[in-house]
């Protein structure tokens, strides 16, 4: 039912997203990772706007993305219903309810795709970006064996400037582990290395924009 609803939204919403986002999709290495994601995977991204998820819905058109989303979005009746139909995974950031983790794991075990914004919130003006990463993406990848697909967006939505998305090469998190570190330490180490990777892709995306404007 979730997959069917996703297809309905993607097909009916395609013309509108062309006008609102006008997304230009770039690739770090298209042969390594294009718009179609094979098998189970975790998509991680920087977080610029509440519309990031809507953009990725169309970037990865062929897969059903099940994004972890903040509880505040589900508290709005109509929006909450819509996100649940799309398969959104509710994350209650102000409680100790970690039910979103086993829910995410079940999706990965069935070969699905889970989306995570590891910063957990949109950075405030003046804050260094990306913010420190939560460990959920690292934990899920290490527990499930799923690859991580890093993606960045410039967040240019509803503007004259086009939205731009850069898809990075997939990451095997097991190559990021540090010998001699315990499980807790490695979760922090892997999370920080994922953060560094997103920062690298942001610089690469900004560089392509600068070059094109010359």
pLDDT in tens, 169-194: 999 999 999 999 999 999 999 999 99
Residue 31: pLDDT band (50, 70, 90) is very high
- For 82, phi and psi rounded to 5 degrees? -65, -45
Distance CA 39, CA 147 (A): 9
Work out the angle between the directed axes of helices 77-86 and 2-20 (0-180°, nearest 10): 110
Instruction: Tell me how far apart the 2 most distant CA atoms of the chain are, in Å.
Output: 52
Check whether 156 has a pLDDT greater than 60.
Answer: yes
The predicted pLDDT at position 97 comes to 74
R_g of the chain computed on alpha carbons: 17
Mean pLDDT of the chain: 94
- Whole-model pTM? 0.94
Q: What's the average model confidence in pLDDT over 60-69?
A: 97
Q: What is the three-class DSSP state of 27?
A: strand
In the chain, the DSSP E strands lie at: 24-27, 41-45, 65-70, 89-91, 113-116, 147-153, 164-167
Residue 94: which pLDDT band, with cuts at 50, 70 and 90? confident
Q: What is the mean pLDDT of residues 122-147?
A: 95
Which structure tokens are listed for 190?
């892997």
- pLDDT of the residue at 96: 72
Q: Is the pLDDT of residue 151 over 50?
A: yes
What was the pLDDT predicted at 210?
54
Q: Is the pLDDT of residue 60 over 70?
A: yes
* pLDDT for 208: 74
The rounded distance, in Å, linking the Cα atoms of 85 and 164 is 27
pLDDT, one tens digit per residue, over 37-47 is 999 999 999 99
Q: Is 162's pLDDT higher than 80? A: yes
């Amino acid at each position: 039912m979730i997959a069917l609803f996703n297809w309905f939204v993607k097909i009916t919403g395609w013309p509108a997203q062309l006008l609102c986002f006008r997304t230009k999709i770039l690739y770090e290495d298209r042969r390594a990772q294009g718009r179609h994601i094979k098998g189970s995977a975790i998509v991680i991204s920087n977080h610029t706007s509440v519309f990031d998820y809507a953009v990725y819905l169309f970037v990865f058109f062929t897969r059903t993305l099940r994004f972890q989303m903040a509880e505040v979005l589900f508290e709005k009746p109509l929006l909450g219903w819509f996100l649940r139909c799309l398969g959104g995974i509710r994350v209650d950031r102000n409680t100790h309810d970690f039910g979103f983790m086993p829910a995410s794991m079940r999706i990965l075990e069935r070969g699905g795709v889970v989306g995570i914004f590891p910063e957990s919130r949109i950075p405030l003006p003046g804050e260094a970006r990306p913010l420190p990463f939560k460990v959920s993406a690292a934990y899920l990848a290490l527990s499930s064996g799923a690859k991580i697909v890093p993606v960045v967006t410039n967040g240019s939505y509803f503007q004259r400037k086009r939205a731009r998305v850069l898809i990075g090469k997939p990451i095997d998190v097991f190559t990021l582990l540090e010998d001699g570190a315990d499980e807790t330490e490695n979760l922090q180490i892997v999370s920080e290395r994922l953060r560094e990777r997103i920062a690298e892709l942001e610089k690469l995306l900004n560089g392509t924009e600068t070059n094109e404007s010359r």
